[in-house]
Chains A and B, each alone.
Chain A
């Protein structure tokens, strides 16, 4: 099963809209939402029936037993993450705690233990197709691990004869994006023709190249700035990056999404352009 990841670098360029369109056009039978921090794919793809849910724990977090604590403060002194504070008693800031175990090690009273904490929830919808998604509980570590779980869940549940799986990624270039990128066959970067979009695109390409992932680029809302669109196309051609097409700004995109539909369900300029991008992407050798 080949995996096609849709990412962007900059937020709001249209990853989920494009991912939703590709899922419809491919009649994909395996897809996943790896934007575990702010998942949106479920709002526009079919997922009937109840989801199998699984709690996600991440790393265990420190816990101080007040009755054993002798208030020596060694834990707070040694914590590198500013996760231990004290008022009347010493306590752990769960959001800052990274579960390193240093406080447990230095505590002379054995008052500190590491406990599992729910950091999110995985969801799997299985009928004719497999849809894997998750929601990270707010404030938790931007999690590469949960992203890996979402991908694994999809791979394990997908039917043996599925040829291509579509994965909706997250913005940025940090841990969750790195986890999304590893092991995929092709990453399609959806960018927009703004100065910010170009800056983020270049950082995204650098990140993907550091991981050795094959990449392709498409431009969304291209007609909002033709000069920048040309800049991006030239950059791709100069750097031998596959350029698979451009999509015009189209108000129909928002209407379709707000109606819970994919843009390719509507007959409009953006839909036609996305179909071309889709066809161009499928012929790339890695898929």
Chain B
């Protein structure tokens, strides 16, 4: 099963990125064989609707679980429709968060903010 985490650099030891929609990369961790790949976040450069596009990108890459600090109401709508579960990250690296997830130490992320509404033009 695939778990995604927004990160700063293409490295499992990278810090978790503070934003969901505009993170430069996502760590894609496969729980079955414990492998990782890195995905460029093409949504980061969007004028508007970055959260929507980022959520779509992860759905299209078969992500079932996301670990993030926060996400907006638009991204939430997309993810909820596809039954993706989002957990709140702990302070630390992506690697630390994978460990915490596997040890069932993470909480579901309840804090959905109203979005940044860049609405590009």
Direct contact of A and B (CB under 8 A): yes
Chain A residues within 8 Å of B, Cβ to Cβ? 58-59, 98, 140-145, 147-148, 152, 175, 178-179, 182-183, 211-212
**Number of B interface residues in the complex (CB < 8 A):** 12
Interface of B, helix, strand, loop or mixed by DSSP: loop
- Distance from B116 Cβ to chain A, minimum over Cβ atoms (Å): 5
Given the known A-B contacts A58-B47, A59-B47, are A143 and B121 also in contact in the complex, defined by CB atoms under 8 Å? yes
B115 near A58 with CB under 8 A, answer no
CA distance A147 to B117 in the complex (A): 10
| Complex: chain B residue closest to A141, CB-CB | B121
- Which residues of chain A come closer than 8 Å to B47, judged between CB atoms? 58-59, 145
| Complex: chain B residue closest to A149, CB-CB | B118
CA distance A39 to B118 in the complex (A): 18
CA distance A98 to B116 in the complex (A): 20
| A–B pairs, 28, beta carbons within 8 Å | A58-B47, A58-B120, A59-B47, A59-B120, A98-B121, A141-B121, A142-B121, A143-B121, A144-B117, A144-B119, A144-B120, A145-B47, A145-B48, A145-B120, A147-B118, A148-B118, A152-B22, A178-B119, A179-B116, A179-B117, A179-B118, A182-B113, A182-B116, A182-B117, A183-B113, A183-B116, A211-B117, A212-B113
Q: Is B114 an interface residue (CB 8 A)?
A: yes
CA distance A182 to B73 in the complex (A): 12
- Which residues of chain A come closer than 8 Å to B115, judged between CB atoms? 182
B102-121 interface code vs A (CB 8 A; 1 in, 0 out):
00000000000111111111
CA distance A145 to B50 in the complex (A): 11
B114 near A211 with CB under 8 A, answer yes
Q: Quick one: which of A140, A152, A175 contacts B117, CB cutoff 8 A?
A: A175
- Which residues of chain B come closer than 8 Å to A142, judged between CB atoms? 121
